[in-house]
Structure 1
Amino acid sequence: MSLPQTLDGWLGLLEQRHGQAIRLGLDRVQTVRAALGADPDAVLITVGGTNGKGSTCAMLEAILLAEGYRVGCYTSPHLLRYNERVRVNGVDASDEQLIAGFAAVEAARGDTPLTYFEHGTLAAWEVFRIAAPDVIILEVGLGGRLDAVNVFDADCAIVTSVAMDHMDYLGDTREAIGFEKAGIFRAGRPAVCGDPQPPASLREHAEAIGAMLWISGRDFGFGGDQQQWGYWRYPAPGARGALTKRGGLAYPALRGANQLLNAAAVFTALDTLRSRIPVSMQAIRQGLMLVEVPGRFQVLPGKPTVVLDVAHNPQAAGVLAENLGGMGFYPETWAVLGMMADKDVEGVAALMRHRVDHWLLADLPGPRGLDAESLAARLHAAEVGGDVRCFASPEQAFAAARKSAAEGDRIVAFGSFLTVADVLAAIRAERH
Structure 2
Amino acid sequence: MHRTLDDWLAHIERQHGQTIALGLDRVRSVKAALGQSQSCPVILVGGTNGKGSTCAMLERILLCAGYRVGLYTSPHFLRYNERVRIDARPVADAPLCEAFARVDAARGDTPLTYFEFGTLAAWEVFAAARLDAVILEVGLGGRLDAVNIYEPDCAIVTTVDLDHMVYLGDTREAIGFEKAGIFRPGRAAVCGDPEPPRSLLEHGAALGADLQLIGRDFGYRRQEQQWQYWGRAGKRSGLAHPALRGANQLGNASVALACLDALREALPVAMQDIRRGLAEVELTGRFQVLPGRPTIVLDVAHNPQAARVLAGNLGDMAFHPETWGVFGMLHDKDIAAVIEPLRNRITRWLPCSLEGPRAASAEELIQALTAAGVAGPLPAFPTPGAAMSHALEQAGENDRIVAFGSFLTVADVLRTLKRDVL
TM class by shorter chain equals over 0.9
What value does the CA root-mean-square deviation take over the aligned residues? 1.1
Distance across 1 between alignment mates of 2:155 and 2:377: 44
3-state SS in 1 of match to 2:190: strand
3-state SS in 2 of match to 1:388: coil
3-state SS in 2 of match to 1:63: helix
Structure 1 residues 295 and 429: alpha-carbon distance in aligned structure 2, compared to 1, 3 A threshold:
closer
Distance across 1 between alignment mates of 2:134 and 2:15: 29
Taking structure 2 as the reference length, the TM-score comes to: 0.98
Q: Aligned runs of 1:109-188 on 2, under 5 Å?
A: 109-188=107-186
Equivalent position of 2:317 in the other structure: 327
3-state SS in 2 of match to 1:158: strand
Distance across 2 between alignment mates of 1:248 and 1:13: 51
Q: Aligned runs of 1:7-406 on 2, under 5 Å?
A: 7-234=5-232, 244-385=234-375, 388-406=378-396
Taking structure 1 as the reference length, the TM-score comes to: 0.96
Kindly provide the CA deviation profile for residues 337-378 of structure 1, in whole angstroms up to 9, marking residues without a partner as x: 000000111001001011000110111111100110111101
3-state SS in 2 of match to 1:391: coil
3-state SS in 2 of match to 1:178: helix
Q: Compute the displacement of 1:386 (Å).
A: 6.0
Equivalent position of 1:239 in the other structure: none
Gaps of 5+ in 2: none
Distance across 2 between alignment mates of 1:221 and 1:356: 33
Q: Compute the displacement of 1:389 (Å).
A: 1.3
- Contact 1:401-1:411 at 8 Å conserved across structures: yes
Question: Which deviates more from structure 2 when the two are superposed, residues 364-373 or residues 36-45?
Answer: 36-45
Counterpart of 1:174, as a letter, is R
- Which of 402, 411, 422 aligns to 2:401? It is 411
Distance across 2 between alignment mates of 1:221 and 1:57: 18
Q: Compute the displacement of 1:168 (Å).
A: 0.1
Kindly provide the CA deviation profile for residues 183-202 of structure 1, in whole angstroms up to 9, marking residues without a partner as x: 00000000000001100000
Kindly provide the CA deviation profile for residues 259-314 of structure 1, in whole angstroms up to 9, marking residues without a partner as x: 00000010000001111110100100010011000011000001000000000001
Distance across 1 between alignment mates of 2:269 and 2:195: 28
- Contact 1:45-1:157 at 8 Å conserved across structures: yes
Kindly provide the CA deviation profile for residues 183-242 of structure 1, in whole angstroms up to 9, marking residues without a partner as x: 00000000000001100000000000000000001111101144100011146xxxxxxx
- Contact 1:350-1:384 at 8 Å conserved across structures: no
3-state SS in 2 of match to 1:191: strand
Q: Compute the displacement of 1:387 (Å).
A: 6.0
Gaps of 5+ in 1: 236-243
3-state SS in 2 of match to 1:17: coil
Counterpart of 2:9, as a letter, is L
Q: Compute the displacement of 1:38 (Å).
A: 3.8
Distance across 2 between alignment mates of 1:234 and 1:22: 38
